[in-house]
Amino acid sequence: MESKDLWQKYEKGLSYNSQFRPNKNYYEAIKVWNSFYNGDQWLGLEGDQKLPHPTFNIIKRIIEFLVASLTSSNIAVNIEPLENVVPEGSPASQVGDFLNAEIKNVFEKVNFEYKVKEILTDGAITGDLCFHTIFNPTKKAYRGQDILGEIEIEILDATNIMFGNPNIKDVEKQPYIIVVGRDLVKKLQEEAKSKEEIKPDSETQYQSSDYADTEIEGDEEGKALYIIYYYKRGDKVYCTKTTKDVIIYQDVDLKTTRYPIAFDNFYRQKGTYHGRGVVESVCPNQIAINKLFAMAIYHQMMTAFPPLVIDKDMIDKINNEVGSTIELRGLKNDGRSFRDVAGYLEPANMSEWIIKIIDLCFQYTKECLGVSDASLGQINPTNTSAIIAVQKSTAVPLANIKDNLYHLVEQEVLILIDMMANKYGIRPVVMENEEGQRQLVSFDFSVLQNMDLKTSIDVGETSYWSEISAMQTMDNLLASERIEFIDYLERMPNEFIPKKAELIAKIKESIQEQQQALPGGNNGIYEQMAQYMDTLPIEQQQALRSLPPDQMEQRVAEMMQQA
């Protein structure tokens, strides 16, 4: 294909995005949603100088809460071969350990936890979540070693991803996928290694933010729009990168079997690959709140200083200075009071329903999105256990969004495995030994090719019911003296006790001081234990000595306390 043929496919994607929302320009709407999230919520009304422009950014508060709730639990990935696909004792029998370790290493290098929060924020604004995975063959995997090839993960804006079949969101079923980007002309020319000139352009109108419309102008800083066209031949993925007029590279075999795109939605919509975010549905509520506040403020501004009315027959000129005197004559003859000569007009009172409606708009908007006062900490903490239970229960409406996030992560993991199997070869992996020390161990990743693997996404806390059940079990163990209080504290969730680490450290320090205060310190304790064991029957001494040292020590200490 020539560059003009690929560019026609890109223009078809632009046409679809411009039409799939009736009476609304998709790209302009994305810019408005980003502006509303950032607090610029009086777009197009700047010329109205009568009304003030207050902004009560409920949108940002809701999105930040949703993102924090969705990422409050750690996401862990567990990979293992399906049963009977790997012979026991073969080098591939430890494939799960190596894969889990390498995926963890990649996540640490790309700062994946931060990217998850960033992509959820983008998804809450635009509706789409998209990771683009790139294998950089020139980047060193480890310093000091000549091992080239590193996996990189970037987040794509909703406006920069186009599907060949936009009515379905399954990535692997797409005839082709287009990734859109802008880069420095100088860099694109170096990448193309072509004598054909790539010219800068000003095609910024299809970006996701108004800020992206402004670029530095100049020969060295000029930018051009490019697309990366991914497609499949059989089971192999190929790609072509081109500008509007110049092909940078063409039909490159990526030697992978999956598209390097992980995609899902914040809220899914039928019949289109584009999702729906929070901002789109909350914008009308936000506008209503801002306008009601603006009119309330305007009313107070106009009526805070009521006009003064005077009788010009009695007073020709009034002096408003502090301590000044106003002389009046003839009031006694007319039978009038000085209050009849001058006074302030009382303005009409503003309806109290204005404030009530504003409060209801806030309340109903938050409740419809699963954000309660308890979850935001806006209630009187008289019963902390009940508050925690309510906060946990408010996370239930987020289950669908969490499922979308975990599906996105699972897609990303499968892409990583595909790249490792086909591009890594033999390379060292950072592993932890039995002592918890990190070391490099070589592994041949090519054994992953055509291997059936089982992928599971594990979350730190599955539900608040499991946490409450665990706490009840811990309470019973402590009450029956099956565990020490320090063990109970260490296993308690951090949210239950403020500054838990400091409390544990203080208790351990106190225990250590008590032990050192005994005759001979720790040695004195061991001498007392040894003397106590000598008093026990031979069979009981042998049973105790057969235990591991730490268990024997604990058992003897318990027996001494009971004695």
pLDDT (0 to 100) of residue 462? 40
Burial (CB count <10 Å: 0-12, 13-18, 19+), residue 250: middle
pLDDT (0 to 100) of residue 396? 62
pLDDT (0 to 100) of residue 463? 40
Residue 377 φ/ψ, nearest 5 degrees: 75, 25
pLDDT (0 to 100) of residue 373? 60
DSSP string, 361-416: HHHHHHHHTT--TTTTT-S--S-HHHHHHHHHHTTGGGHHHHHHHHHHHHHHHHHH
Residue 404 φ/ψ, nearest 5 degrees: -65, -40
Quickly tell me which residue has 């081109």 as its tokens.
242
pLDDT (0 to 100) of residue 181? 94
Spatial CA neighbour of 177 closest among 230, 244, 137: 230
Cα 518 to Cα 317, 370, 514, 523, 555: the distances in Å are 94, 57, 7, 9, 20
pLDDT (0 to 100) of residue 260? 96
pLDDT (0 to 100) of residue 461? 46
pLDDT (0 to 100) of residue 222? 86
pLDDT (0 to 100) of residue 226? 95
What is the rounded radius of gyration, in angstroms, for the C-alpha atoms of the chain? 35
Order of strands, sheet of 236-242, starting from the edge strand that comes earlier in the sequence:
161-163, 176-184, 223-233, 236-242, 247-253
pLDDT (0 to 100) of residue 50? 75
Residue 512 has which token pair?
Answer: 């250590």
Q: Which residues contact 78 (CB under 8 A, 6 or more apart)?
A: 96, 100, 455, 456, 457, 458
| Contact indicator for 30, 158 with CB cutoff of 8 Å | yes
pLDDT (0 to 100) of residue 7? 93
pLDDT (0 to 100) of residue 469? 58
Splitting the chain (563 residues) into consecutive groups of 10 residues, what average pLDDT does each group show? Answer: 89 89 82 89 68 86 87 76 59 75 90 93 94 91 79 94 94 95 90 80 86 75 91 93 92 94 94 92 88 86 77 71 70 68 74 85 82 60 55 66 90 92 88 73 84 69 50 77 79 68 78 62 65 81 77 80 72
Q: What torsion, rounded to 10 degrees, do the Cα atoms 443, 448, 449, 452 define?
A: 170
pTM, entire model:
0.72
pLDDT (0 to 100) of residue 464? 42
